Amino acid sequence: MIGAESLVRTLIASGVDACFANPGTSEMHFVAALDRASGMRSVLGLFEGVVTGAADAYARMTGKPAATLMHCGPGLANGLSLLHNAKRARVPIVNIVGDEATYHEPLDPPLTTDTEGLARPVSAWVRKVKRTEVLGSEAAAAVAAARETSGIATLILPSDVSWNEGGVVGTPLPVPPRSKAPDESIREAARVLRQREETLILMSGAALSEAGLMIAYRIASATGARLSAQTFNTRVARGRGRYPIQRVPYFVDEAVKENAGVKHLILAGTGMPVTFFAYPNKPGMATPPDAKVHVLARTEDDVVDALARLADELGAPDVPVADRPAPDVRRGRITPEGASETLAALLPDSSIIIEEAITLRNFFFNALTNAAPHDSLENIGGAIGAGPPLATGAAIAAPGRRVVGVQADGSAMYTIQALWTQARENLDVTTVVLSNNKYAVLFRELAAVGATPGKTANDLFEINRPDLDWLRLSESMGVEAARAETLDQFADLLRYSFARKGPFLIELVIDRG
């Protein structure tokens, strides 16, 4: 058995059943091995950012790693920005990165680079395999490392290690359960909550699952504490029947104002509420500097278990979530409020929302609170262009569920190639492009840092001369598309897209003033 086949068979035996790929010459034997070992779905992305972003969403929805396949160090470099997001999302991924043959690398061929150095900032585990006979065991170790750390493992594969004989299928390794929060952390949080001073419980990770939110709601109802998610999150259970969790606002002034009275901050599976950027003469934290910080559960702990133990310690009874009326379809001219409420009114049950729209995100977030039950995936790391790849990976991970991308036009252009993969795989994705021909958030950021705008700044923030033609872009990649210039048209197009199989793109023309 050659090394590549031992690698593929080890990945499958270890529970990795999807591979998002953009291969090159060094990976040809891995690609050929995919035909000889059944059980691995292979999905082609036309850019490595599509590959890594799709693997991120796949892990968010399934809880297990997919493999990525990228061509040498430069291919990995193309995928790094969305691996940054995946690292921040704390999801498992196994990267397979091809490399020059061990005996050819000293000749310094053109693709030679420090692939290990590129991988380390985003990876919890990095290894370059130089012997075919250990490739299987190293692959098993990579999967175990990704699952144990909820992080990224990068295995670098020289081409001769791949094609040489002597490969052995590695034995899958056990993954220990998540650690439990210490009893003293539970007792300390209970003590603070019993004081009934103004307390914010800040949550992330599994705390934002349906089960985690219900337990947190018990705690908040029994103690008067306020619940909040971080500004951006890996996955949130939302919609009617779920607790309507709020988020720390993105803009620093809003965040500081909202949390001004907090005396105690309890961290449940998350870090401190650090603002996204620094601004002149503004704080870097969303909570007051004198607020006392208490760690209920670390990011690596079983946060749902910690919340459940805290609720029991407090004797917090079960509390049903209040019924909320479904939103109505709006009519007339397009406004952010009308568009968001129309989407919320028509969203199918069990959908998956992919949200990448900074300036309009609160309109959609607030309206979707009252939509049908759904999951929301957000751009947690801030590397833009995440939306289309996340939608692609989520649709592959959760067949039968409609995926809806609420997507800013500027960031969509980073990874627009994802539409091609959606068409090829016939994925049930509806992409709503918020078309205003500008990087709208940058105008607000310019003011926030106290800089003076001028013609050059405007030229760097506006996406015009020429305008983007979303319908032609989309249709050139096999995705049917249409433009909505009124809310009536938007509603009709949403209904059409939700009733059909496969991908569809709606250009939602919003204020371009």
In tens, the pLDDT along 360-399 reads 889 999 999 999 999 999 999 999 999 999 999 999 999 9
446: pLDDT strictly greater than 90:
no
513: pLDDT strictly greater than 60:
no
Tens digits of residue pLDDT in 174-195: 999 999 999 999 999 999 999 9
500: pLDDT strictly greater than 90:
yes
Calculate the alpha carbon distances from 470 to 58, 83, 361, 404 in Å: 26, 27, 21, 17
* Superfamily (CATH H level) for 3-163: Thiamin diphosphate (ThDP)-binding fold, Pyr/PP domains (3.40.50.970)
Over residues 305-324, the mean pLDDT reads 96
Q: Are 230 and 248 in contact (CB under 8 A)?
A: yes
* Superfamily (CATH H level) for 336-509: Thiamin diphosphate (ThDP)-binding fold, Pyr/PP domains (3.40.50.970)
> Identical fold at 3-163 and 336-509?
yes
Q: Are 128 and 156 in contact (CB under 8 A)?
A: yes
Model pLDDT, residue 462: 78
Tens digits of residue pLDDT in 69-107: 999 999 999 999 999 999 999 999 999 999 999 999 999
- Percent of the chain at pLDDT > 90 equals 90
CATH of region 183-314: 3.40.50.1220
Over residues 404-410, the mean pLDDT reads 95
Q: Are 510 and 435 in contact (CB under 8 A)?
A: yes
For 160, residues 6+ apart whose C-beta sits below 8 A from its C-beta are: 101, 102, 103, 104
Counting other chains too, the contacts that 466-469 makes at CB distance below 8 Å and 24 or more residues apart are 467/437, 468/409, 468/413, 468/435, 468/437
CA distance 394 to 58: 5
Q: How confident is the model at residue 61 (pLDDT cuts 50, 70, 90)?
A: very high
Model pLDDT, residue 438: 62
- For the chain, what are the domain ranges? 3-163, 183-314, 336-509
440: pLDDT strictly greater than 80:
no
